[in-house]
Amino acid sequence: MLDGRIEAAVVGHHGPMTVAAHGPRSIIGEVTTMIGGRRTATLRASKPLRIAVIGQDALHQVFDEHPDALLGPGQDFGELGAMLGFPRSATAGATTDVVLTAMPPHEFRAKVEQA
């Protein structure tokens, strides 16, 4: 995403719920682009935004050249598993020292529902 803000929502036990928000420099749709399959969320923007669309080969090249492109400070992962009980779809590895905060699924769901 070049600029703007977009929210990702999934349908849970109590209807649609927002599970993530993305802003400039976010990469969205990368899992489906890399490995195929169905999308896992519905994305919605409240205002116009600018995005860049790249294909699978170009996305592989970006991640090969910039392994830190997927996650940065303040970003989260594993939200679909926490919200919906999905099995993990990827393995995360650190290329530098990191500090992680783990949250039990019930606490994560409560925080999302409060937002």
Of 106, 113, 112, give the one whose Cα is nearest residue 20: 112
Residue 39 belongs to some domain of the structure: yes
- DSSP percent split of the chain into helix, strand, coil, nearest 5: 30, 15, 50
Tell me the torsion sign for CA atoms 14, 18, 40, 82: negative
Residue 1 belongs to some domain of the structure: no
Residue 77 belongs to some domain of the structure: yes
Task: Tell me the residue range of the domain where 27 lies.
Answer: 6-114
Instruction: Specify the pTM.
Output: 0.53
Q: What tokens does 13 get?
A: 């036990």
Q: How many alpha carbons fall within 13 Å on the CB side of residue 44? A: 8
Residue 85 belongs to some domain of the structure: yes
Mean pLDDT, 10 residues at a time, the chain of 115 residues = 88 79 82 76 90 86 72 71 71 78 80 68
pLDDT at 72: 67
Q: What tokens does 81 get?
A: 């598993």
pLDDT at 71: 67
Of 84, 79, 71, 87, give the one whose Cα is nearest residue 108: 79
Q: Whole-angstrom distance between the N-terminal and C-terminal Cα of the chain?
A: 23
